[in-house]
């Protein structure tokens, strides 16, 4: 897992977006079972949700600063937290999740291959990534994104691995509209906290639009692979 240095400076704001975090879990909760691993947990914004669904939770975070923060935050919470990468962790898992992580990794195929090896048969490998390379911006670059993703990127990964796509959908239509506005008017990424607050407030509307449009577009892309 070759990942550039990244201290997650914007994660505090995103982790306060509780409506968005709940929506993320809603989209995947039926795939979250058994022995569980999250790769690149950042500041652990989704860990409270995992705790409600699972008993065997392992978190790996390669960035030492974020790892130390996680250890301090979840000390004695019966969650295994390791300063490792997917290629040197031992054991196999029923569920492996990368939430807003794959875009930080230059060789994504290699990373998916490593994750596949750590997945049990019939297990699920889940990715959530920023959608549409067309919207790649200076902000993406500043937070260490190598790319944004389209559905065809995951279809290519499926063909090059032994994994099968079980779910592949865009989500967060309101976030998509914000991306369009940023693209059209070249808006600067200032007042990030206030923008995230508004976006999170509108998340129920985003869920409705996603539903009636059959998830045809969105700020993010969700892919669930199954190991057959």
Show the CA angle centred on residue 79, arms to residues 1 and 103, nearest 5°: 25
Q: Average pLDDT of 81-103?
A: 95
Reduced to 3 states (helix: H, G, I; strand: E, B; else coil), residue 80 is: strand
Q: Please, what is the average pLDDT of the chain?
A: 90
* Spatial CA neighbour of 8 closest among 143, 127, 131, 100: 143
Q: Average pLDDT of 104-129?
A: 97
128 in Cβ contact with 220 (< 8 Å): yes
Distance of CA 183 to the CA centre of its chain: 23
Burial class of residue 104 in the structure, from the number of CB atoms within 10 Å of its CB (0-12 exposed, 13-18 middle, 19+ buried): buried
pTM value is 0.91
How many CA atoms lie less than 13 Å away from 115 in the CB half-sphere? 33
Reduced to 3 states (helix: H, G, I; strand: E, B; else coil), residue 3 is: strand
Tokens of residue 150, six digits: 């389209």
* Spatial CA neighbour of 132 closest among 176, 173, 76: 176
Higher-confidence residue: 144 or 13?
144
What's the pLDDT at 182? 85
**pLDDT tens per residue across span 132-173:** 999 998 889 988 999 999 999 999 999 999 999 999 999 999
The CA distance from 165 to 221, in Å, is 13
Residue 44 predicted with pLDDT over 80 = yes
H-type alpha helices, the chain: 11-15, 18-28, 47-53, 64-73, 108-117, 138-142, 151-159, 173-185, 192-201, 203-212
Q: Average pLDDT of 175-184?
A: 91
Residue 100 predicted with pLDDT over 90 = yes
42 in Cβ contact with 61 (< 8 Å): yes
Inter-CA distances, 48 with 13, 18, 21, 145, Å: 16, 11, 10, 26
Distance of CA 158 to the CA centre of its chain: 18
**Residue 3 contacts by C-beta under 8 Å, 6 or more apart in sequence?**
40, 62, 63, 85, 104, 105, 144
**pLDDT tens per residue across span 190-208:** 567 788 889 999 999 999 9
Task: Average the pLDDT over each of 56-60, 164-168, 185-189, 214-218 and give the range with the smallest value.
Answer: 185-189
Tokens of residue 126, six digits: 């889940």
């Amino acid at each position: 897992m070759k990942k550039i240095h990244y201290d997650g400076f914007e994660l505090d704001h995103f982790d306060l977006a509780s409506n968005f975090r709940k929506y993320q879990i809603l989209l995947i909760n039926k795939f979250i079972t058994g022995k569980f691993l999250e790769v690149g947990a950042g500041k652990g914004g989704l860990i409270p949700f995992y705790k409600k669904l699972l008993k065997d939770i392992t978190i790996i975070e390669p960035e030492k600063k974020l790892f130390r923060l996680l250890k301090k935050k979840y000390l004695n919470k019966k969650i295994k937290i390791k300063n490792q990468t997917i290629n040197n962790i031992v054991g196999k898992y029923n569920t492996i999740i990368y939430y807003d992580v794959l875009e930080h990794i230059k060789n994504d195929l290699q990373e998916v291959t490593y994750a596949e090896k750590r997945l049990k048969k019939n297990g699920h490998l889940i990715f959530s990534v920023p959608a549409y390379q067309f919207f790649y911006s200076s902000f993406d670059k500043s937070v260490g994104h190598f790319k944004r993703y389209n559905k065809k990127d995951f279809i290519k990964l499926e063909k090059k691995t032994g994994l099968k796509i079980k779910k592949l959908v865009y989500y967060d239509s309101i976030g998509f509209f914000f991306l369009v506005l940023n693209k059209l008017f070249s808006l600067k990424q200032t007042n990030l906290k206030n923008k995230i607050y508004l976006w999170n407030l509108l998340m129920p509307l985003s869920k409705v639009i996603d539903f009636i449009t059959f998830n045809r577009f969105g700020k993010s892309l969700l892919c669930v692979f199954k190991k057959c």
